[in-house]
Amino acid sequence: EEFAFKQGQYLTFDQEINGEQVRRSYSICAGVGEELRVAVKAVPEGRFSTWANAELKPGDVLRTMAPNGRFFTELVEDQAKHYVAFAAGSGITPILSHVKTVLATEPGSRFTLFYTNKDQSSIIFKDELDDLKDRHLERLRVFHFFTREPVDVPLYAGRMDGAKVKEVQEALLDVEDIDEVFVCGPESMIHAVRDSLSTAGVDAERIHFELFTSST
């Protein structure tokens, strides 16, 4: 029970690496009811991420605190909501937990995901997202945006800045149909989504966000 989690929460690992205690937090990417999983993307000169990707192996034991975080809303089986999420890069990890949990817990709810990456090859969890979309054709929409790969439709090119969010909102969203918004990515994207959707009429209290990296 201590390690039961809510969609959008994270785990904090405490590991000795080369004689130094290193503590890092990673979002849970599993759906509620599944076994705990996190994704650790290798970051240049990142002590924990480099160690985890290069040296961690099956059978090793990790020290972790219990799941934590408030990046979620309560789900109710009989409610029908439209959830919208914006993610960039590894910011998809807690968002994937939201997508999987909502689809499994609220049969009447729908999910729309806007996911930005450099190119096709850098999409994390692409196969899992494709599988979810195939299994929930009427309830899950996924739109990919690329910053360093040519695309046929200009809407899907470039970073998710204020102008892009406005384009997306006008082309792909009905603001009055949005119940909850989740945003995870760089700080600039979070501000762009929050400001643009708030201006368009989405209640600020319904826009939930989490940074996947600190600006400091």
E strand or H helix that includes residue 196: helix 187-200
State pLDDT tens for residues 177-215.
Answer: 999 999 999 999 999 999 999 999 999 999 999 876 543
Give the integer Cα–Cα distance in Å for 66 and 93: 17
pLDDT at 214: 43
pLDDT at 211: 77
* Residue 213, pLDDT score: 55
Give the Å distances, CA to CA, from 90 to 4, 96, 180, 184: 23, 10, 21, 9
- Amino acid sitting at position 179: D
Amino acid 16: pLDDT: 94
Q: Determine the Cα angle at 198 with ends 213 and 184, to 5°.
A: 20
Per-residue model confidence (pLDDT) at position 210: 87
**Positions of the chain with pLDDT under 50:** 214-216
Name residues whose C-beta falls within 8 Å of residue 161's C-beta, 6 or more positions apart in sequence: 188, 189, 192
Q: What pLDDT is attached to residue 212?
A: 61
> Are 82 and 110 spatial neighbours (Cβ–Cβ below 8 Å)?
yes
Q: What pLDDT digit, counting tens, does each position of 163-184 carry?
A: 999 999 999 999 999 999 999 9
Which amino acid, one-letter code, is at 119? D
**Beta carbons within 10 angstroms of residue 203's beta carbon:** 12
